Structures are given as C-alpha cells and as structure tokens.
Structure 1
C-alpha cells in the first residue's frame, strides 16, 4: 500500500529518520525495509533518511505485504456499520449496544470488528483496534485503517489527546459535579467484574458533570484513563450504579445499560486538525 502524507503547517524541521522513528513510531524493522527498498519519497523524490523535512512536504511511504503481520478477521455484516468519520487512515463509528468490540475466538463473526472488516473489505483495507467499549455500551469508537497509523493513535490515547464524553443515567439523586479517583482492579471472585482496589488496582480517573438530578440522575462522564468497566465501577463505588447495568446493578429494570459514548474529540494523527464527532441519538 502507498500512503502520501503532507506535513502540517508549523511542523518543525527534522530529519526523515526522526519523523519516522519519533513522531510516526514506525517500527525498526519496517524502517529498515523502507530504507533498503527505497520505499520513501519526499515531494515525489526518493529520499535519504538523513535529509530534512518541513511543513508542506509530501512524504510517501510504500508498505509491502510482509512489512506488517496481519491477523485474518472473519467478515460480519457491513450494514451494521454507522460511520461518523472516515478518511484514508482513521474510521470512527457509532457502536450499537449489545455487541462486543472485537472477537475473542477466531470463529466469532458477530462483533463490531467483524462487521467493520466486511465494510472495509471492498476498499482492500482492514480495521485495527485502538480502544474498546463494553458490550453493553454504545457510541463513538475509533479504529485504525492501516498499521502505520495504529501506534500513533495509541499514543494519542495514552497522552489523553483522544477525549471521550459519555452520557449516563444513574440510580438516585446525584447533586453535584465530582471527580472519582479510585484505583480499579480485578474481582478475584468473579472474573467478569472489576472492583475498587486501593492497594493493587490501576489508577483511574472519571470526571462527572451532573445535568439533571432526581430519582435517577442524568450525567456526563469524561475519562482521563480507560480501565475496564471504569465508569460502571466508579459510579457504583459512590452508591449510584448505572441504570440497566446487568453486572453491577442486576436489580435495575431498564432494558439496556444507560451508558453511551456520546462525543469524541481528537487531533488527526497526521494533519493535526481537530476531529469532533457526535453519536446520535443519545440516551436523551
């Protein structure tokens, strides 16, 4: 596959080697193949790794089939894909509630990743998982469309540059905004669940903004971290479990988990332009 990327305005002058290694996080083996095969060009001219690149330069990379390892994905139903944003490198979709993000077994073909693989197949591309949503959670989720962009998206996620906002409905009257900073760990008695574990858990931070308070409360949650079941466990820990949560609030009568990844904001991994998507309809 051939990819041409224009360096954005105000990009610092650096060597091509620095661009590939430090900014685009191209693996050493792939950089080696790009160099010896002369598969890198700057402004349509074969490039040397020591040359300087700057704003406005067009960098062309040609990736061979053996540069990256691909894992075969069973094809699902492309009609189930609701695209919120798509270009050559990134696709953001609106995940329905009730399906998993990705398969755990090679024979599975009814997860979001399977459906997205079927959607992308006519263009000869394949999806790569960047982050996950619980099976019961709906809304915005990002996938890479090629292995080149995957580590860059991973770094954006780790550095909190991919901002995620969730609509949620919780039991009880939650009267004021708050930030929950409780460590989350595995439940030793139920492998499906997570618990607050101040000693051995992983750091987790959830910001909660209250929109409407009553017998149930409508809130917006923003994550600084992405632990498994983070919002669900954090809200349970303060006595306000999510409405409809089959795992942490089994007595709730609502048909589905009241958690929806309503909005996502991030810089494009190459152009740096802001991407802002909203997954409609929401919970209210």
Structure 2
C-alpha cells in the first residue's frame, strides 16, 4: 500500500499497531522474518514514514492459518463492490447472513464461492431484511473493519415502511434493548437491564396510514430498528415478529453503506436496489406515488 498524507511522520510501529491494528503475535512474525518493507527495504520499527512511501507486508500461512468453510452457490450473489480486501453484496430477504452451524449454507458461503476464497462477516442483517452487507476477504483487514464498525465510522442507512405517522420528521430513539423472556426469538425495550441502542429516524414520505422512513444506526443491537419502531407504535409492515398483522415481506431494506476504505482511504458509497422492496411499497401506497431513488 502507499502511505497516505495523514500518516506522514508516523513511525512504522505506530502504523502497524494503531492504523492497521495488526495483532502483537502477527507483528512479531513480521519483524522476526523481516516481512515488512518500506520502498522494498526492510526497516526498523521506529522508522518514520513519508507520504507516498510504498509499504509491503508479507504473510505466511502460520501468520494467518487458512480457514475453510463449505462453498455455496455463487449465482445467488449480487455483487455491489469488490476489491482486493473487501466485497459488498446485496442480500435478498429470506436468506441468513451466516449459518448457525458449520454445515448450514448462508450468504457467507455463497459469497465465499463467488470469490473462490473464505470470506469473513463484518456485520449482519436479519434473515428477513434485504440490502447491502460488507464482508472481509482476508483475516488481515477483518479487525480493521471491525474497529471502524465499533467506532461508528461505517454508516448504515435503511429504508422502512411503518404503520402510522411519526410525531416529528426527525427523531432519535435511545431505548435500551434486551431479550424477551417469553419468546427467545424476540427482543424488547428494557431500559433497566438492556443494552444501549441508538437509532436516528427521518420521515421521507407519509401516506394515509403509513410512513416511509430512513433509519441510521449508531449501534448494532439485534432487531434494533424493528424493536425501536414497534415500541414507539410504528411497527414495520410485514414484520413477522413485531407487527400484529404481518403480510408479505418485511419492508426493511439496507439501501446504503458508506465508509472510508482503511487502506486506500477512498470513500466507498454503495446503494443496493431491491425489486421486492419497491413492490412492497407499491402494495401499500394506496394509490399514491413515491419516486424511488435507489
């Protein structure tokens, strides 16, 4: 990789530890094997880097032992973006992001078959939710992407069609979320013992009995958007767990993913289309028109 301007004057040690988040064990391997090169020359850990320097890291199998999973069906993958390190795909509703056990085939298995190498889940979508999902293509970049997610530097935006009209055009829900003791499949608002959850809601369009809303996640709790909207009296249409009269598909779609690529520092913005989500909107528009821009 090429050292960017904002890493200028950092030491090699600082880049490997703080920017690339390489684990201590792997850094030890790189150092003892002289597998870190700056402009094709092995350099000491305290060497200061200059913008434009070429940084080369060489890994052996003992650094990152190969992990194999069963390959799925590559034809089931709709690729939205791919480079040497990551791939973003458009998950259809009704498919799990990853299986519950090693033998269950899910999107992860299909994506791995698509790129012909084992991939790694960075974040997941509920089985009933469609849209953009990010995968790491190697174990080196996985912890870096996980850190971006934890630091809220990966923006995930969803569209949902909900019951009723919200009390304001823009809202922020911060209710804590915990497990439902009576139904292990479900979550509920539990402000005493639950985990902090934050969802930003903006109304995009209102209809006689429903609203189209945009949701931005600041945390990633299980069923977070579904629980928050349902708790405040606006369950998502088609939600089999949180809508009392669910019909059709869950009208929740992860339509946009935005972040800065940690190695190229380019802004990656991906939008995911969904024919079934658009069809669901048409069903509930009740004769009104909305322009879909995704």
- TM-superposition CA deviations, 1:255-278 (whole Å, max 9, x none): 110000001110001122111010
Which residues of structure 2 form unaligned runs of 5+? 279-294
Q: 2:231 aligns with which of 232, 237, 246?
A: 237
Aligned counterpart, 1:275? 268
**Are the counterparts in 1 of residues 131 and 274 from structure 2 also a CA contact under 8 Å?**
no
- SS of 1:105's equivalent in the other structure is coil
Q: CA contact under 8 A between 1:175 and 1:213: conserved in structure 2?
A: no
Alignment length (residue pairs): 275
Contact 1:194 1:229 in 2 (8 A): yes
> Partners of 2:8 and 2:269 in 1: how far apart?
25
Aligned 8 A contact 2:154 2:257 in 1: yes
TM-score normalised by L of structure 1: 0.93
Q: What residue number does 2:94 align with?
A: 98
Deviations 1:171-217, CA, capped at 9 Å, x for gaps: 12235221111000111221111110101111111111111223111
- 8 Å CA contact 1:128–1:147 kept in 2: the answer is yes
Match of 2:217 among 218, 223, 226: 223
CA RMSD of aligned residues (A): 1.3
Note if contact 2:68-2:118 (Cα within 8 Å) is conserved in structure 1: no
Distance in 2 (alpha carbons) for counterparts of 1:116 and 1:207: 30
Contact 2:161/2:210, CA 8 A, preserved across alignment: yes
Aligned to 1:164: 156
Match of 1:44 in 2: 40
Q: Runs of 4 or more off by more than 6 Å in structure 1?
A: none
- CA distances 1:53-74 after superposition (whole Å, capped 9, x unpaired): 1211111111111112443211
Q: Does structure 2 conserve the Cα–Cα contact (< 8 Å) formed by 1:7 and 1:55?
A: yes
